[in-house]
Homo-oligomer: A and B are copies of this chain.
Amino acid sequence: MVSLNENPTPAESEATHQTKQKILSAAKDEFAQFGFEGARMQRLANRADIPKPNIHYHFKTKQQLYLAVLEQIIASWNQAFNHATPESDPAEALELFVREKLNQARFDPAASRLFANEMIQGAPNLKRYLSTDMRPWVLDRAHVILAWVAAKKIRPIDPERLIFLVWSVTQHYADFQVQALALLNRAEFDESVAQETSDFLVDFVLRGCGLQPKANAS
């Protein structure tokens, strides 16, 4: 993960840390819902329940705050699939990957929405990151998948497309949560919705890879 700004974390006080976290959390929600241009510093301050100038004390500009939020989000992403190796059991590794991404969509939908906004907008702040960090990651993960193919553990498959599929479907449940819930006639993204969704997806992905689905799959 390359640094998006150039702060080497210059040892901050407890008060500063607390306030910064409140701001970052509110900023994540605000930017997620309205995008960078649509976000309002005053509304953001209200969310964080602090006066607006206090935000500018800790983050010089809206842009800088936005970058700080982006950085925080990206740092914690796609962890689960990092551990897959050519020796892994594909079914296990893929299931872990799917379930982790869906958990993130469920428990931190704002992160997914903020990222989606940045991509929709054309990734003006993440273009470099995409090629510098994300592409190598994808290539590396693709090699693992291709190793599974070579070992005939899964059928021949386009590895990048497989990764995109997992990303898009899991993130859909964060970004389009209102739609999904309305169409499923559910009130909230609760445990049962999550269960059904991840079971469906795991099953679907494994079948797509030519793997025998587990017995309990619907």
A187 to chain B, nearest CB (A): 12
A11 at the interface (CB under 8 A from B): no
Closest chain B residue, CB of each to CB of A120: B113
- The complex is assembled from copies of this chain, and their number is 2
Known: A33-B120, A218-B156. A164 touches B182 (CB 8 A): no
* Candidates B33, B34, B156, B182; contact of A135 at CB < 8 Å: B182
CA distance A34 to B179 in the complex (A): 20
Are B34 and A134 closer than 8 Å at their CB atoms? no
A178 to chain B, nearest CB (A): 4
Majority-rule SS of A interface residues: helix
Known: A130-B178, A182-B130. A204 touches B121 (CB 8 A): no
* Candidates B37, B40, B185, B210; contact of A34 at CB < 8 Å: B37
Closest chain B residue, CB of each to CB of A181: B130
Residues of chain A whose beta carbon lies under 8 Å from any beta carbon of chain B: 32-40, 113, 116-117, 119-123, 127, 130-131, 134-135, 138, 156-158, 160-161, 164-165, 167-169, 171-172, 175-180, 182-185, 196-197, 200-201, 204, 207-208, 210, 218
